[in-house]
Amino acid sequence: MEPDPRRPARRRLLTGAAALTASAALAPFGTATAGAAASTRRLTPGGGTYPPCQWVPASPSNFTTAKRPTQYPVEMVVIHVTQETYAHTLKLFQNPAHKAAAHYVVRSTDGHLAQCVRERDVAWHAGNWDYNTRSIGIEHEGWIDDPAWFTDILYTRSAQLTAAICDRYSIPKDREHIIGHVEVPGSDHTDPGEFWDWARYLQLVNGLSWRTAM
């Protein structure tokens, strides 16, 4: 699926700082079916199992290898909107010249989850190095001026993922710790935009477990 030609010129999907170092452990992906560029895997951190994700690794040029939460605490989740199709977003994250990537991408039509950067590593997604080190970035397929992209299943699967992240790192499930890209200091981005339903999303995050809501 190619970007909609009627849409505005695509934004720089995230800006990142190119600082080096970092490290702490999220239990690695368990193996499943493997492909040359991507595979479907289950993330099984201590204390529970994450929602199923497809591992579609970003270029190493678009994140900093780290060992979180030992080196940096994980204290928040940052919500993004791609301003791109799901497929093109993954291509951008795999492009070493892009210099940005988020940890996860959620597809609009079916809530399918791709993981592009391991949580232990620092993804360049927030445009603020301090926030990058302390957060998990989740991209959502769509455009901020078109709420039709924010489907029921996109909200649900994203909320399941965010709830699991918060449980793993003991992050409070509130608006001080689950924020939009627009709220990152120094960011020039406006996502997730006025049509993102924060009240609904926080209610889902606080009320859903992926194991009971699939």
pLDDT in tens, 160-185: 999 999 999 999 999 999 999 999 99
pLDDT at residue 132 greater than cutoff 70: yes
Can 176 be counted among the known catalytic residues? no
- Decide: pTM greater than 0.95: no
The pLDDT of residue 209 is 65
The pLDDT of residue 211 is 58
3-state DSSP assignment of residue 78? strand
Average pLDDT (22-43) is 35
Candidates 139, 176, 183, 194; catalytic one: 139
Average pLDDT (182-205) is 97
Rounded Cα–Cα distance for residues 61 and 94 (Å) = 9
The pLDDT of residue 46 is 37
Rounded Cα–Cα distance for residues 25 and 110 (Å) = 30
